[in-house]
Amino acid sequence: MRLRFFTLDVFTTHRFAGNPLAVVLGADGLDVATMQNIAREFALSETVFVLEPRDPVNTARLRIFTPARELPFAGHPTIGAAILLATQRAPEMLTRNGIVIALEEEVGLVRCDVVRDASRAVLARFAAPRLPLPGAPAPEAEALARALGLSGADIGFARHIPSRFSAGVEFVFIPLSSRSALDRARPDPALFPAAMGEAVGAYLYTSDTVEPASAVCARMFANGVGIGEDPATGSAAAAFAGVAHAFEAPEDGEHEFVIEQGYAMGRPSRIILGSRIEAGRLVAVTVAGHAVEMQRGELEL
């Protein structure tokens, strides 16, 4: 069996930046064990497998794997797969009115709008399949500090305290007082897994950003998914809308801001997070970003 694959750099307009993604096309004949082995072989934070949709009105069905497990939803595979399918199937439409890509994921249907912007880069935007929901209380700040090689004084800024949120995948969100603390963070392998529990990872963030136009600078240390640090985490960005709503209390209306991630890894990434607030309630969340194709080839199985 031969299957085409592509790799893309996602949440960036430049190659060798952003979060690398492998996309395997025509994967209907693969079983779960083979998909997991292929994801382990690529050794990227995620590999996405494109299958025929269950409902023919949709574009495709996706299965998303880290090197160690399958995920029901992830942001950079959604963005990357949508941009690849749009550029493969209808490149002429991207410059005119754009194209809608409807993706069946394990979390549910995810609708993506894909367009070539004024800079000629291709951008995809999706509505989060689930609104962010708070989880159980986060661990105490001192316990999180020890698990990350930091001090208790490094945890928190303004009204932000550690929290748990999920928009399909749960993360522990940990506000840090400075980018210096963000750069110093190093998970302790003896303490980190217990502090995270069932969460996919720790999402560390600070308002002390690299780029003046960004709202927060973030890092994501993964828990039990076969990678250490992720250069850009769209599923965490979607859940972060719940964090922003809880601790910033934004006014009613449309809001959009940029999350920068991956800078400490030499893979700068820019995630555009949107939200809509009505009567004080968070009612809609969007995640957007660019992607560029890096390579293409064939798998022989």
Cβ contact 145:152 at 8 Å: yes
Whether residue 92 lies in the annotated active site: no
User: Which of these is catalytic: 41, 46, 198, 293?
Assistant: 46
What does the alpha-carbon distance between residue 194 and residue 262 come to, in Å, rounded to a whole number? Answer: 24
Per-residue HEC secondary structure of the chain comes to CEEEEEEEEECCCCCCCCEEEEEECCHHHCCHHHHHHHHHHHCCCCEEEEECCCCCCCCEEEEEECCCCEECCCHHHHHHHHHHHHHHHCHHHHHHCCEEEEEEECCEEEEEEEEECCCCCEEEEEECCCCCEECCCCCCHHHHHHHCCCCHHHECECCECCEEEECCCEEEEEEECCHHHHHHCCCCCCCHHHHHCCCCEEEEEECCCCCCCCCEEEEEEECCCCCCEECCCHHHHHHHHHHHHHHHCCCCEEEEEEEEECHHHCCCEEEEEEEEEECCEEEEEEEEEEEEEEEEEEEEC
Catalytic residues: 46
